[in-house]
Structure 1
Amino acid sequence: MKHVYNVSGMTCNNCKASVEESLSNLEQVKEVSVNLKAKTATIKMTSHVEVKTLQDALSDKFKISEQEETNVFNSDTNESDVEKKSELKQLFPLFLIFGYLIIASILLNYKPWDVSGFMLDFMGLFYIVFSFFKLLDLKGFPESFRMYDPLAKVLPIYGWVYPFIELTLGLMFLMRFQIDIALIVTLIVLGITTVGVTKALFSKTTIQCACLGTALKLPMTKATFIENSVMIIMAILMLSNTLAS
């Protein structure tokens, strides 16, 4: 007997492993296969198990719900459909947010046009918005973040503090407070993360993006690489202008 269930709350390979292990511990369960991208769990059972029993076996972070009974062929088809989904479409939420930030920054600085003001406002709004998404799931974010950030791997508490670092940097840029310090911290913080992201890209590791917390499902490495690159370039330009003047 095989059933497929929807499982929400999974953000990384650790979550996948946790769900598989928890469900496998049930007496009636013979085998569990979790598809992280499709957010499904295919369970082979010796006898039917109630959804409530499955839910009780999982952490409160995960929510499981029943789908129609399926077979191996249906499961393979679902995985194939997910794989075919274009990365550009997956990254659409990120590009949409970037578009809003760019428009807002332009409107704040177009009369008269101020390039420096535009970049400062963009960076400030960027940090505020992205910290907001991370704070929506402060428990889930650190777990995803440490999958690729070198410092978060060594110091897990860094993942909990990181959203507040972003929030502080955002306020500093918007309030024009200690901009040089904010720019240097930006280069250090994003530089560390980018090292981890680059390693993940070369190793072709698939991890859900933590840049927008766990609220939106994005391909982690490429989405994070895009946002980090934009911010690092802006920080370098701003620091160069400061040193030149």
Structure 2
Amino acid sequence: MIHTYQISGMTCSGCQAKVQSLLSQIKGVKNVDISLAEGTADITMEQHIPTDVLQKALEAYPKYQLTEAHTFPATSIMDDTDNRTWLQTYRPILLIFAYILGITLIAGHQSNGFSPMVMMRVFMSGFFLTFSFFKMLDLQGFADSYAMYDIIARRIKAWGYIYAFVELVLGLAYAFNLLPKITSAIAFLVMTVSLAGVLQSVLNKQKIRCACLGAVFNLPMSTVTIIEDGLMIVMSLLMFILY
């Protein structure tokens, strides 16, 4: 069954992610869809959960007030993302990937021919710098979203904030070709740990937002995220071996 609740106090995507995270931790809750614009939460439950139990989950954050609104049959609620095509859903990340790839191919052309190593280094730099930029736009929102699925951030909330800066440092290190072997080893480790949380969420069929582009875009967790992380792992491993 799906119950809809009014939630006041949400003012940004960080608030949205925090409320979603808190409500998702309640036993018996299968999925939580938050509408920041309408100030509502559609909660899918295995069985009815009393309103006071839901309110108690938010009591550590008094500015979020939950009140009961309406109850609908499970089939009557549609997530807005269900109406979008695959291309519409992932258009932002595909455009970013295309621009980074274009710059990478241009940079790979040297006076003495094409350099695969330069190409990979520029791609890694562009990837980490671009993705860290979007995370920095709403650092708290990213940290809240990341804590919903990352295996470290779930236990240590501060890791979500640190991770954005780790990506920034890796991007700069690749850009200036600083300690390339160490940089690639760190990138391999960071992306492998990140992939573990993504795989766990996808395999469990959790309907949560991917935090790869911070809290700016509403991208669902899916195989696209797995491919993205997997590609970075393979490239960092190749660069570590080749250097």
Structure 2 length normalisation: TM-score?
0.72
Separation (CA, whole Å) in 2 of partners of 1:170 and 1:42? 38
8 A contact 2:21–2:148 mirrored in 1: no
Q: Which has the larger radius of gyration?
A: 1
List aligned pairs for 1:34-45, cutoff 5 A.
Answer: 35-36=33-34, 40-42=38-40
In the alignment, residue 170 of structure 2 is paired with which amino acid?
L
Please state which structure has a larger fraction of its residues in helix: 1
- One-letter code aligned to 2:147: R
- Tell me what 2:196 maps to: 195
Deviations 1:76-106 (A, max 9, x none): 7672654232334211111110000000111
Q: Structure 1 pair 110/77, CA: closer, same or farther in 2 (3 Å)?
A: farther
| Corresponding position of 1:47 | none
Compared CA separation, residues 232 and 13, structure 1 to 2 (3 A): same
* CA–CA separation in structure 1 for the residues paired with 2:142 and 2:209: 10
**Structure 1 residue 13, shift from structure 2 partner:** 5.9
Aligned to 2:121: 120
User: Is this contact kept in 2: 1:127–1:169, CA < 8 A?
Assistant: yes
What's 1:98 paired with?
97
- The offset of 1:190, in angstroms, is 0.8
The aligned amino acid for 2:34 is L
Matched, 1:84 2:88: no
- Which string of whole-angstrom CA distances, capped at 9 and with x for unpartnered residues, describes residues 57-85 of structure 1? 856xxxxxxxxxxx989x97672654232
**2:137–2:214 Cα contact (<8 Å) kept:** yes
Query: Could you say which residue in structure 1 is the equivalent of 2:205?
Result: 204
Cα deviation for residue 136 of structure 1 reads: 0.5
The change in CA–CA distance for 1:4 and 1:85 in structure 2 (over 3 A counts) is farther
Q: Corresponding residue for 2:19?
A: 15
Structure 1 residues 17 and 121, CA, compared in 2 at 3 Å: closer, same or farther?
Answer: closer
Instruction: State the alpha-carbon separation in 1 of the partners of residues 89 and 63 from structure 2.
Output: 28
Cα shift at 1:220: 2.7
Structure 2: any 5+ residue segments left out of the alignment?
A: 24-31, 42-61, 65-69
Q: 1:94–1:223: 8 Å Cα contact kept in structure 2?
A: no
Deviation at 1:40, TM superposition (A): 3.9
Q: Does the CA contact (< 8 Å) of 1:180 and 1:239 recur in 2?
A: yes
- Distance in 2 separating the partners of 1:162 and 1:137: 13
CA gap 1:126/1:77 in 2 versus in 1, 3 angstroms: same
On the 8 A contact 2:153/2:159 being kept in 1, the answer is yes
Structure 2 SS opposite 1:154:
coil
Letter in 2 for 1:91: Y
Residue pairs, 1:71-220, within 5 angstroms: 79=78, 82-111=81-110, 112-220=113-221
Number of residues of Structure 1 aligned to a counterpart in Structure 2:
207
Aligned-partner SS, 1:36: strand
How far, CA to CA, are the matches of 2:187 and 2:38 in structure 1? 37
Amino acid at match of 1:104: I
Q: Distance in 1 between matches of 2:115 and 2:94?
A: 23
Identity of aligned residues (%): 29
In the TM superposition, what whole-angstrom CA distance separates every residue of 1:26-50 from its partner, at most 9, and x where no partner exists? xxxxxxxx7437864459xxxxxxx
Conserved 8 A contact 1:13-1:207 = no
User: Structure 1 counterpart of 2:124, which letter?
Assistant: M
Deviation (angstroms), 1:3: 11
TM, length-normalised to structure 1: 0.71
Q: Residues 17 and 41 of structure 1: is their aligned pair in 2 closer, same or farther, counting only changes over 3 Å?
A: farther
